[in-house]
Amino acid sequence: MKKIPRPATRPRQTPMGQWLYEQRLCAGMRQSDLAYRLDIHPGRISEWEQGQKAIPESYLREIQSLLGPCPYN
């Protein structure tokens, strides 16, 4: 049986980063899984989730196609 991830318990710096973190977990993906699909380094996902860097529009469209629409866009 597939393990269902728990909701996010640690605070994120931005609503967009929080959304990305929660959607990724609900999709059952690790940062490395999403990074592989986007053809980027996994550290970039971490930077976006923590609000250290903004998600470029081109990647945001691709992320939304994988994880669903973002209410903060």
Q: How confident is the model over 5-41, as pLDDT tens digits?
A: 665 555 557 899 999 999 999 999 999 999 999 999 9
Confidence (pLDDT) at 24: 95
Residues 50-65 have pLDDT tens digits of 999 999 999 999 999 9
What pTM was computed for the model? 0.79
| CATH of 15-67 given 1.20.120.80, 1.10.260.40, 3.40.50.10420, 1.10.490.10 | 1.10.260.40
**Which of 18, 20, 5 is CA-nearest to residue 68?**
20
Confidence (pLDDT) at 13: 77
SS (H, E, C) 24-71: HHHCCCCHHHHHHHHCCCHHHHHHHHCCCCCCCHHHHHHHHHHHCCCC
- Per domain, the residue ranges of the chain are 15-67
Q: How far apart are CA 3 and CA 14, in angstroms?
A: 27
58: which 2 tokens? 């081109």
